[in-house]
Structure 1
Amino acid sequence: MTVRFLSRRSVSVVASAGVLALGLAGCGGTTKDSTEAAAGGAAASSASADPNAKIKKGLKIAFLPKQINNPYEKIVDDAGIAAAEEYSGEAKEVGPSDASASSQVSYINTLIQQRQDAILIAANDPNAVCGPLKQAMARGIKVVSYDSDTAKECRHLFINQASSEEIGRSQVRLLADLIGGKGEIAILSATANATNQNTWITYMRDELKKPEYSGMKLVKIAYGDDDDQKSFQQTQGLLQAYPNLKGIISPTTVGIAAAARYISGSQYKGKVVLTGLGTPNQMRKFVKDGTVQKFALWDPKNLGYLASYAAAALASGQITGAEGETFNAGRLGRRTIGKDGEVILGPPTVFDKNNIDQYDF
């Protein structure tokens, strides 16, 4: 089992100064009893002004990504672990080296035995992890899915990076703009059971039914299993099997980087359009060498940060996961829980040669 910790850092000076200022502002209402009472009132005011005051101290939370060596998942989890320091929690990341459907089960069982306060999981399969997650919930452990959802009954909250419908439909719109709305296209996905991938693909298929996309034909959905080499080989296979292919959508950071690497050194560079979801640091060289014109993603650091605060609010009893409840998400402000326990981070950003150097993740 692989476990990764981040070292504890001091609380932000700016945040501390803000709390102190609010605390001092509350000192105006002193009583005639004594200066001791006044000091007590100031302390109480300061505590109430602290947005993290209601979060239980010393919470133990664990991030369980699809796979431990996935660059995107590492960014998400590192940000969530760092966020835990802000509310005096203890966070860690554990996980498998492969993204198979059942690979996360043993880790969940271990986290139950360790009596974690919350488990945050990016599910490789929506149902394969349900049994142990239900056991965790029965023992009072809060369960938050992020990035890739579990079945709804197996968690309290789902932290969604953006509207699933908007992600799926926008990927088709982006590719259509790049290929002029005509030609054969393919999708290079992660695993066949990945909840997020399949949800996005459902919306992609639906979007392609619209009249404005009548000139585009989806010929193949390939699966690289979020493995770099397999995704590389799947890209090669797609281009050889479909000589008239005009574009590929790869809604996975591992897949799009591997596909770009193959196309950049092949005869298809400049002829086949590649887009999808990737990180700026992964894709920068491929954008600058002309292999990829545009791709999209949200800020994964904010996703991990939001998930961490959501888990803390659950574990502290501030929320239950019901629609309409709100919670403090640190620098991201208050967030509202939507239908089926979903909390949406925000819309994705489209990256191209004009803005990619403005981002570092």
Structure 2
Amino acid sequence: MSTPAIRKASTALAAVITLALTATACGGTTKKSVAQEDGGAKASHAHADPNAATKKGLTVAFLPKQVNNPYFTVADKGGEQALRQLGSSFKEVGPSSATDTSGQVSYVNTLTQQQVDAIAVSAQDPGALCTALKQAMKNGIKVVTYDSDTNAGCRDVFVSQASAEALGRSQVQLLGQQLGYKGEIAILSAAQTATNQNTWIEFMKDELKKPKYKDMKLVATAYGNDDAQQSFQQTQGLLQEHPKLAGIISPTTVGIKAAAQYLSGSKYKGKVALTGLGTPNDMRRYVKNGTVAAFELWDPAKLGALAAHAAVALSSGQITGQRGETFKAGDLGSFTIGDQGVVDLGEPTVFDKDNIDQYKF
């Protein structure tokens, strides 16, 4: 498949985001019951009013996996800008390590004590935050997950960057095209518990079962914990342990940049293919110097903005997180809630030397 064709295909397979129940602690709207943690249908006695006025003066807290991660900086700035336009307040808190799950729990507990109106969180682990988030929901706080989900019963809505299946399969397709569908490959992921990473990897493995990949073999999965130095070292280790390695997929912006940095200064530049999920600003130099042919991503600022709009829509009673409900998200357009409270952001884009200078994030 050609790169333009893959770009079109990956763009067409978008994300599903979930938006859920609608009551806020200070607003006095009807509180929903806590959903089942097994991901089944949410039990709610609240009713959405799509014509309800958008509340102003809300406080929405963003809790990313890692506050010093450039990807989340861009995403959360998008959320901040959207909230400002909606007449509400933004705050950001979070751990400096992408594997500090107990730190995320502590921040949720603090935000609950502070009685914020909504929390937008990118979960480091699907279950570890559940007790704290359910307590927040019992206190009338709306919970939106973005980028990385919790168990479905532990939040109101999941704002998905793109469908997990689309992202998993398209990264394999990109690498397959670059390798001529032959050779040993490896995956350089983030943390072993990262919900989004693990889901994408499962779809990658399923894609590799197709006949056209019969000459491609996944030989290793490494974890850099979204730490630049660890990811750099893991890349080096993969190449030392697998001297026949032909390509690497890194579905994490920190990982792909670190892998590209290593490859760019090594004898493997131009010999070992690299693709995955990265930002144009991080990857531009490596595309231009021939280290990376193509990679993909969505616009993280739009992801953060959609999470903010979902939080406000929930707090305003315009949605409750049930399938089929719709809400407006400013310039992003209108969105419909899908299964298990997931809402589609849009379409991932493939970046290469022909289009990367058109993007500045």
- Normalising by the residue count of structure 1, what TM-score does the alignment of the two structures yield? 0.85
Which residue does the alignment assign to 2:25? none
Which residue does the alignment assign to 1:62? 61
Summarize the Cα distance change of 1:171–1:165 in structure 2 as closer, same or farther, 3 Å threshold. same
Which residue does the alignment assign to 1:31? none
Summarize the Cα distance change of 1:295–1:260 in structure 2 as closer, same or farther, 3 Å threshold. same
1:284-342 Cα offsets, whole Å, 9 max, x none, are 00000100010000111111111100000001111111000011101011110000000
1:60-119 Cα offsets, whole Å, 9 max, x none, are 000000001110011000110110011100011110001123330100011001101000
Which residue does the alignment assign to 1:267? 267
> 2: distance between equivalents of 1:340 and 1:310?
15
Which residue does the alignment assign to 2:237? 237
| 1:282 is aligned to 2:282 | yes
Q: Which runs of 5+ in 2 are unaligned?
A: 1-49
CA contact (8 A) 2:324 2:338 kept: yes
CA contact (8 A) 1:60 1:91 kept: yes
Matches within 5 A, 1:20-59: 54-59=53-58
| 1:203 is aligned to 2:203 | yes
Which residue does the alignment assign to 1:14? none
- Which secondary structure state, in structure 2, belongs to the residue aligned with residue 57 of structure 1? coil
CA contact (8 A) 1:52 1:87 kept: no
> 1: distance between equivalents of 2:250 and 2:103?
23
Which residue does the alignment assign to 2:169? 169
Task: Flag the structure with more relative contact order, 1 or 2, with Cα contacts below 8 A and sequence separation at least 6.
Answer: 2
Which residue does the alignment assign to 1:85? 84
> 2: distance between equivalents of 1:94 and 1:143?
15
- Which secondary structure state, in structure 2, belongs to the residue aligned with residue 123 of structure 1? coil
Query: What is the deviation of 1:53?
Result: 8.0
Larger deviation, residues 184-193 vs 100-109: 100-109
> 2: distance between equivalents of 1:81 and 1:62?
10
> 2: distance between equivalents of 1:103 and 1:213?
41
> 1: distance between equivalents of 2:85 and 2:195?
31
Summarize the Cα distance change of 1:232–1:289 in structure 2 as closer, same or farther, 3 Å threshold. same
Which residue does the alignment assign to 2:98? 99
> 2: distance between equivalents of 1:357 and 1:54?
40
1:117-155 Cα offsets, whole Å, 9 max, x none, are 000000000001111000000000000000000000000
Matches within 5 A, 1:103-142: 103-142=103-142
> 1: distance between equivalents of 2:103 and 2:219?
31
1:171-202 Cα offsets, whole Å, 9 max, x none, are 11000000000000000000000000000000
Runs of 4+ in 1 over 2 A off after TM superposition: none
- Which secondary structure state, in structure 1, belongs to the residue aligned with residue 103 of structure 2? coil
- Which secondary structure state, in structure 2, belongs to the residue aligned with residue 360 of structure 1? coil
**By percentage of residues, which structure has more helix?**
1
Aligned residues: CA RMSD: 1.1
State, as a whole percentage, how many aligned pairs show the same letter: 66
CA contact (8 A) 1:336 1:343 kept: yes
Which residue does the alignment assign to 2:306? 306
